[in-house]
Copies of this chain bind each other. A is one copy, B any other.
Amino acid sequence: MGRRIAEVSTPARLAGPDEGLGRDELGLAARNHGLPLEALRHDLTPPGLHYVLTHYDIPYVPDETAWRLMVGGRVHRSLSLSPARLRGYPAVTARVTLECAGNGRALLTPRPVSQPWLVEAAGTADWTGVPLRVLLDEAGVRSDAVDVVFTGADHGVERGKEQDYRRSLPLGVATGDDPEVLVAYAMNGMPLPPQHGSPLRLVVPGWYGMAHVKWLREITVADTPFTGFQQSVAYRIRQEPGDEGEPVTRIAPRALMVPPGFPDFMSRTRFVAPGTVTLEGRAWSGRAPVTGVEVSTDDGATWQPAGLEPEHGHRWAWRRWSHTWTAVPGEHVLCARARDAAGNVQPVEQAWNRGGFANNAVQRVPVLCTGSP
């Protein structure tokens, strides 16, 4: 039977030259979904349009009253917290843009075979909950602690290894206040939907989605660095399978554009009429505040600065940008790129890595401008 497990739960691999997407990638694409890019018009992503990525099944929790979040490990007092009890703490709400670490993966050559995102694995919500540091303070972290490990109720097999979904944060990040990590129980003022972690999830503003552990049931303070599958095998930037690699952490800058005009059903090519077209979109970075967005209407040959709206007090949420374009008949490729205060700029060329993580190469939007399509 071990042989069969190894046959159905295989090592990570790269697609061959010109290899189309397989049934396995389609199985993931049919159940997970991105943000339809026209929904970038909304400050807050409407329900059901925020991207979703679940490694295993969405746990079924028809009644949350029995749910307990255990806080233990290297603490002075273990805690057992119900969702109702967490709602009794002073509530904090943060507007946060989340992005999947694998966003952009399916655009890479060769293509890492996994959830095949193009550029749409993002979304913004108001998350309400209790700061993690409040709970850790209450439990009393021991002086030998180094990592905080978060366990979700989602359970499955990945590359031959059976596991609960589990990730860690360094103690300094877990107890920090910039960003302030939340144990969240509400999304946009409503209880969490099942696919977003009902009844409890972690929210780590500025970090890629893998850190925001959903269906959170255990917080364990550890005195050794956590080396579980999702920390030391998955979610590493590697060139070769044997590399130790760099961990995936904070979100690289990205600007996305609302594709202008209207689409062809199958190719999603856009059609616009000649004249003034307002290009708009959103930009974010988890590494430092976004300081500028530039737009190209000639496939990256030249760039013009776009208008960028203020943060409006939401450091961890995307910011709206816009740019006026005078469309003339012909074919165009529109691009936008963001830069942040730490000097990070989106690359026009992709920086390949084996897992297909953090590919923030600029979005390319083919547009056909014609008087009467």
- Name the B residues within 8 Å of A98 (CB-CB): none
A262 and B153 CA atoms in complex are apart in Å by: 12
- Name the B residues within 8 Å of A57 (CB-CB): 36, 38, 259, 262-263
Question: So how many copies of this chain end up in the complex?
Answer: 2
Contact of A128 with B by CB under 8 A:
no
A75 to chain B, nearest CB (A): 30
Chain B CB count within 10 A is highest, among A20, A114, A195, A269, for: A20
A residues 197-252 touching B (CB-CB < 8 Å): none
Contact of A275 with B by CB under 8 A:
no
Contact of A302 with B by CB under 8 A:
no
Contact yes or no, B368 A26, CB < 8 A:
no
A263 with B26: in contact, given A31-B36, A34-B31, A36-B58 (CB under 8 Å)?
A: no
Contact yes or no, B58 A264, CB < 8 A:
no
Contact yes or no, B120 A31, CB < 8 A:
yes
For A29, give the chain B residue with the smallest CB separation.
B29
Q: Mark A281-297, 1 if CB is under 8 A from B, else 0.
A: 00000000000000000
A371 to chain B, nearest CB (A): 8
Q: Which of B39, B48, B266, B269 contacts A48 (CB 8 A)?
A: B48
A residues 154-187 touching B (CB-CB < 8 Å): 155-159, 162
Contact of A19 with B by CB under 8 A:
yes
Among A5-13, A133-141, A341-349, the stretch in contact with B: A5-13
Contact of A25 with B by CB under 8 A:
yes
- Name the B residues within 8 Å of A114 (CB-CB): 266
Q: Which of B33, B116, B162, B264 contacts A8 (CB 8 A)?
A: B264
Contact of A87 with B by CB under 8 A:
no
A243 to chain B, nearest CB (A): 21
Q: Mark A43-62, 1 if CB is under 8 A from B, else 0.
A: 00011111010111110101
Q: Which of B116, B155, B267 contacts A24 (CB 8 A)?
A: B267
A residues 82-132 touching B (CB-CB < 8 Å): 106, 113-114, 116-118, 120
Q: Mark A350-373, 1 if CB is under 8 A from B, else 0.
A: 000000000000000010101101
Chain B CB count within 10 A is highest, among A24, A26, A30, A156, for: A30
Q: Which of B10, B21, B48, B106 contacts A52 (CB 8 A)?
A: B48
For A259, give the chain B residue with the smallest CB separation.
B57
Contact yes or no, A21 B31, CB < 8 A:
no
A14 to chain B, nearest CB (A): 13
A37 and B368 CA atoms in complex are apart in Å by: 39
A30 with B262: in contact, given A1-B368, A195-B36 (CB under 8 Å)?
A: no
Contact yes or no, A193 B47, CB < 8 A:
yes
16 extra interchain contacts, Cβ-Cβ under 8 A, other than A46-B195, A49-B58, A57-B262? A1-B368, A1-B371, A5-B370, A8-B267, A9-B267, A9-B269, A27-B267, A29-B116, A30-B34, A30-B116, A48-B196, A49-B195, A156-B262, A157-B265, A158-B264, A158-B266
18 A-B contacts, Cβ less than 8 Å apart?
A: A1-B370, A9-B269, A10-B266, A26-B29, A26-B116, A27-B268, A29-B116, A31-B36, A32-B33, A39-B58, A41-B60, A48-B49, A48-B52, A48-B196, A49-B58, A49-B193, A156-B263, A157-B373
Interface residues of A (CB under 8 A from B): 1, 4-5, 8-10, 19-22, 24-34, 36-39, 41, 46-50, 52, 54-58, 60, 62, 106, 113-114, 116-118, 120, 155-159, 162, 193-196, 259, 262-269, 271, 329, 331, 366, 368, 370-371, 373
- List 3 A-B pairs, minimum CB-CB distance, nearest first: A20-B20, A48-B48, A33-B33
